[in-house]
Amino acid sequence: MNIPAIVGAGLVVIGAGIGIGRIGGSAMEAIARQPEATNKIQTAMLIAAALIEGIGFAALFAV
């Protein structure tokens, strides 16, 4: 494995972590504004986080 591939994989992991963190933070803000929509917001948040994590794993295994 070469150095650029390792750096790229690290950037993918960092990017996925930031993305999932932003999704979680935005979901908490949305739930605070509309508590009655908690279930819909959580479902959308989990789906989006799973997709981001899946892309992160795919990028790591492609290296």
Q: How far apart are the first and last CA of the chain?
A: 8
What integer pLDDT is reported at residue 1 of this predicted model? 66
Give dist(CA 39, CA 37) in Å, integer. 6
What is the pTM for the complete model shown? 0.82
pLDDT digits (tens, 9 = 90+) for 6-21: 898 889 989 999 999 9
